[in-house]
Amino acid sequence: MKLHKIFQSIALSICFAFLAMTFLLISTEDVSAKVRVVGSIPDFAAIAQEIGGDKVEVASLSKGYQDPHFVDAKPSLILVLNKADLLLYAGLELEIGWLPPLITGARNSKILRGNIGNLDCSTLIPRLLEVPITKVDRSLGDIHPGGNPHYWLDPRNGIAIAKGIAERLKEIDPENASYYDERLGDFVRRLSAKIKEWDEKLAPYKGTQIITYHKSWVYFSDWAGFEEVGFVEPKPGIPPSPSYVADLIRKIQQMNVKLVIEESFYSQKAPDLIAQKAGASLLVLPSEVGGRDGINTYSELFDAIVGEITSKLANHGKG
Amino acid sequence: MKMQESAGHHGITNINRRFIIFVFAFLLFSPDVHTEVWGDEKDDIKKQMQELRQQMESMQKKLEELEEKNRILEEETKKQKEGKEIEKAISEAAPPPPPGGGLRGLVQSLNPDISVIGTFAAAYFTTDNPISHAENDPQNTGINLQEIEVGFQAAVDPYFRLDSFFSFLRNEVEVEELYATTLSLPLNTQIRTGIMRSKFGRINLQHREVQDFVTLPLPVTSFLAEHLNPTGVEFNFLLPLPWFSELSASVNSSNGLETPTFAPSPDANNLGLLLYIAHLSNFFELSDALSLSLGGSFATGSNGTSSTNRSNLYGADLFLKYRPLKYSSSYQEVWLQSEFMYRQAETPEPEGNFNDWGGYVQAIYRFAKRWNTGVRFDFVNTNNNSFVPPPGEEGLFPARKELNYAAMLTFNPSEFSRIRLQYEFDDPSFRSNYSAVFLQFEYSIGAHGAHPF
């Protein structure tokens, strides 16, 4: 009989179980009073930091210079989510390719849908753009059935996001509710003043015709009063073919396109060609906090975007 | 009249009267008399003055207080106004009630996420009878259906989610996976129950649509077959280490399994001959751009050749990925995947026990957002080359020496379609070598699946 072998395998599995239990028992949860906030993109993390001050500890799953559609679902991110008290994400299927398996793997019921630690920031936005009103399918490209998810590029939405984050922080950490309220008021006051400043800077350029790479600037254009007359991508997520680029150039030559805007993670080849042919300037802009060195807050992001756009437009035609 | 009366009454003359009045007046107004008659009038006035002054001072004080109060009040109203403005800004940003009905109503339903993935391959073999390594590999020259995979996935309730995948061929259906995952167990534990691709190595967890080549590597086909997916209960522990480290242990029944290594024991009710699988997975983020995953696996269970014979399977897996994030076109990436497997099998006399092993290493370079290319080398070998399986028979036989080389070029028109060209050279020790060319087409519709790392 090979009974000993059977016992051997049973003993082995018991050993495994014991090993696992030992590991679990020595894992002393480090009790930190701070609320752990994790943003899918750095913008949410940055706003949460401003509201939460020293009562929170924030982290971002992706980098500001990274395409938020295509983040690697690295297991290391599971560890970050495992300890999170509050997860902030853009929703509208922006992160659908990578966030769901991370949430499942995190083994953290706090951040599951429907729980207090799960905040889909798109639910805070008063007016979503490009919400399809007819049935959509993927022949239209990689579209988002819930609407365009790039809403953080309108600073007015930053106020709505901040308020939503403050509400959640107050629910999670009621002891510091007045602290969060105070910081929210302060943030809103500062951001409102800044928005006034940016509005004034952008005012002379209302109606400027621009082309963007991806449909990621619609909220920004809506705020700044820019007119988007074309996109480098023929359809969301589909890179341009040479014939499409030729068509686009033909189409915009009659127009007065002044800017071609794209994020740093997209190829610059086609946009550069389009800008040249259209007599426009190509601007590679940061689209998220951390999109460039020195952009560490939500305000600094718009300082950079508005600053670069207005200085480009002011110089446009002079050269 | 009065004067006259008094004069008459006192009988005093006019002159006298004047004099008296004068003296009287003098007396009256002389300081001492004054003081005596009227008391200290000066002191009184002083007092009054002082009181007045005090009153004035107190009034002034009150006035100042009032002014201060007024100022505070004004400030407060200003603050309130500002607060209201902020409140307004905040409340303006508050979400309106979500629109009911309409398209959103259509999208809202409790149906699970459904996806359908079809994989076909045109194949050309330089031999008339190519070796059929895996069930879903292209089998013959011509157009082959590799697999139609239908997936249904949804949360069951706040405690479980269910993932199910059915693999369709033209005339058969297989439940490839159907398992529930716990969502909120304490102590960083996660339990999966059902039919699932076992956590053994790396490629066994990858569905066909996320694999990098048209065919499966030799060690996988020799030891695990198309996939190792027994019915079982799997415990996953997140170990409290500074890096991601997950220990998985599962108890499985091999009933209905079609693998060369594990099969149900004729002595069906022996706990010791169930299929036990353990896997330790470690992930290291070496830098933002460079990630390394290292794993070790072990599986033991009945191999079906007798009521006591068992197989042990050991595995080691490595995954290394380099993806620079900070440059334009950050879609360029390189990854290396490799696994090694070693098998010990007990078989009845006269053949006796044998050991065999195999491995593969593949490197892929994604050079544009939609394009990637890669090469693979895979092999198997054994210590018992004399053990020749009867032709046409399936079961537990040593993997005789065989080498395979493959190169592929993939174009993904979008995330949902794929065209892949692959060249393969198969070099077995027991028959003549041959080449194969595949052109694979893959389409997926429905829910957007997540990309496993």
Mutation to test the B interface, candidates A24, A78, A115, A123, most B Cβ within 10 Å: A24
pLDDT tier at B352 (50, 70, 90 boundaries)?
Answer: confident
Cβ contact, residue pair A113, B155, below 8 Å: yes
Cβ contact, residue pair A124, B103, below 8 Å: no
- The percentage of chain B sitting over the pLDDT mark of 70, rounded to a whole number, equals 81
Average pLDDT for B367-396: 83
Cβ contact, residue pair A239, B416, below 8 Å: no
CB A6 within 8 A of CB B273: yes
Cβ contact, residue pair A10, B272, below 8 Å: yes
Contacts of B192 (CB under 8 A, 6+ apart): B179, B180, B181, B182, B233, B234, B236, B250
Give me the pLDDT at residue A78, please: 95
Cβ contact, residue pair A27, B240, below 8 Å: yes
| Alpha-helical regions (H) of chain A | 3-26, 42-52, 75-82, 99-105, 155-172, 177-202, 218-224, 242-253, 269-278, 298-315
**Which residues belong to CATH 3.40.50.1980 in chain A?**
35-197, 200-315
Domains of chain B: 2-39 (no CATH), 118-146+198-230+243-446 (2.40.160)
Q: What CA–CA distance (Å, rounded) separates B103 from A129?
A: 15
Q: What are phi and psi of A116, to 5 degrees?
A: -65, -25
3-state SS track over chain B: CHHHHHHHHHCCCHHHHHHHHHHHHHHHHCHHHHHHHHCCHHHHHHHHHHHHHHHHHHHHHHHHHHHHHHHHHHHHHHHHHHHHHHHHHHHHCCCCCCCCCHHHHHHCCCCCEEEEEEEEEEEEECCCCCCCCCCCCCCCCEEEEEEEEEEEEEECCCCEEEEEEEEECCCCEEEEEEEEEECCCCCCEEEEEEECCCCCCCHHHCCHHHCCCCCCCHHHHHHCCCCCCCEEEEEEEECCCCCEEEEEEEEEECCCCCCCCCCCCCCCCCHHHCEEEEEEEEEEECCCCEEEEEEEEEEEEECCCCCCCEEEEEEEEEEEEECCCCCCCCCCEEEEEEEEEEEEECCCCCCCCEEEEEEEEEEEEEEECCEEEEEEEEEEEECCCCCCCCCCCCCCCCCCCEEEEEEEEEEEEECCEEEEEEEEEEEECCCCCEEEEEEEEEEEEECCCCCCC
Nearest beta carbon to residue B103 from set A2, A6, A132: A132
Which tokens belong to B140?
Answer: 């013959």
Which tokens belong to B344?
Answer: 């010990």
The answer, yes or no, to whether ipTM is higher than 0.90 is no
pLDDT in tens, B433-453: 999 999 999 999 988 777 777
Top pLDDT among B68 and A122 is at A122
Is it the case that residue B90 has pLDDT exceeding 60?
no
Q: Are strands A56-60 and A35-39 parallel, antiparallel or unpaired?
A: parallel
pLDDT tier at B152 (50, 70, 90 boundaries)?
Answer: very high
For residue B117, the distance in angstroms to the closest alpha carbon of chain A comes to: 15
Which residues of A fall within a CB distance of 8 Å from B191? none
Q: Residue A59 in 3-state DSSP?
A: strand
Cβ contact, residue pair B244, A70, below 8 Å: no
Top pLDDT among B233 and B8 is at B233
Nearest beta carbon to residue B414 from set A159, A238, A266: A238
Which residues of B fall within a CB distance of 8 Å from A79? 238, 243-244
Nearest beta carbon to residue B285 from set A76, A113, A114: A76
Amino acid at B144: N
Is it the case that residue B328 has pLDDT exceeding 50?
yes
Top pLDDT among B187 and B328 is at B187
Give me the pLDDT at residue A271, please: 92
Closest CA to A58 of A315, A296, A311, A308: A296
Q: Which residue of B has its CA nearest to A265?
A: B328
For residue A62, the distance in angstroms to the closest alpha carbon of chain B comes to: 10
For the four alpha carbons of A196, A197, A200 and A201, in that order, the dihedral sign comes to negative
3-state helix, strand, coil in chain A (%, to 5): 50, 15, 35
pLDDT in tens, B127-150: 999 998 998 999 999 999 999 999
pLDDT tier at B47 (50, 70, 90 boundaries)?
Answer: confident
Q: What CA–CA distance (Å, rounded) separates A81 from A39?
A: 10
Which residues of B fall within a CB distance of 8 Å from A82? 188, 238
Closest CA to A106 of A61, A67, A66: A61
Which residues of B fall within a CB distance of 8 Å from A156? 93
Q: What CA–CA distance (Å, rounded) separates B407 from A289?
A: 41
Q: What are phi and psi of B324, to 5 degrees?
A: -70, 130
Give me the pLDDT at residue B99, please: 43
The CATH architecture to which A200-315 belongs is 3-Layer(aba) Sandwich (3.40)
- Within 10 A of B74 (CB to CB), how many other CB atoms are there? 10
pLDDT tier at B353 (50, 70, 90 boundaries)?
Answer: confident
Q: In what order do the strands lie in the sheet with A118-120?
A: A56-60, A35-39, A86-89, A118-120
Choice among A293-297, B4-8, B44-48 with the minimum mean pLDDT: B4-8
- Averaged over successive runs of 10 residues, the pLDDT of chain A (319 residues) comes to 59 61 51 86 97 96 92 94 96 93 93 94 94 87 90 96 96 95 96 96 94 95 94 91 92 88 90 90 94 94 96 76
Which residues of A fall within a CB distance of 8 Å from B158? 109, 112, 114
Q: Residue A258 in 3-state DSSP?
A: strand
Give me the pLDDT at residue B19, please: 60
Which residues of A fall within a CB distance of 8 Å from B331? 67, 70
Q: Does domain A35-197 have CATH number 3.40.50.1100?
A: no
For residue A52, the distance in angstroms to the closest alpha carbon of chain B comes to: 17
Which residues of B fall within a CB distance of 8 Å from A157? 93
Rg, Å, chain B Cα set: 49
Report CA dihedral (A182, A188, A194, A197) to the nearest 10 degrees. -120
Mutation to test the B interface, candidates A16, A19, A107, most B Cβ within 10 Å: A107
Average pLDDT for B76-89: 67
Give me the pLDDT at residue B100, please: 39
Angle between helices A177-202 and A298-315 (to 10 degrees): 0
Which tokens belong to A98?
Answer: 């990578």
pLDDT tier at B5 (50, 70, 90 boundaries)?
Answer: very low
Cβ contact, residue pair A100, B450, below 8 Å: yes
Which residues of A fall within a CB distance of 8 Å from B94? 126, 160, 163
Which residues of B fall within a CB distance of 8 Å from A16? 247, 249, 278
Give me the pLDDT at residue B264, please: 86
Average pLDDT for B3-28: 53
Give me the pLDDT at residue A319, please: 46
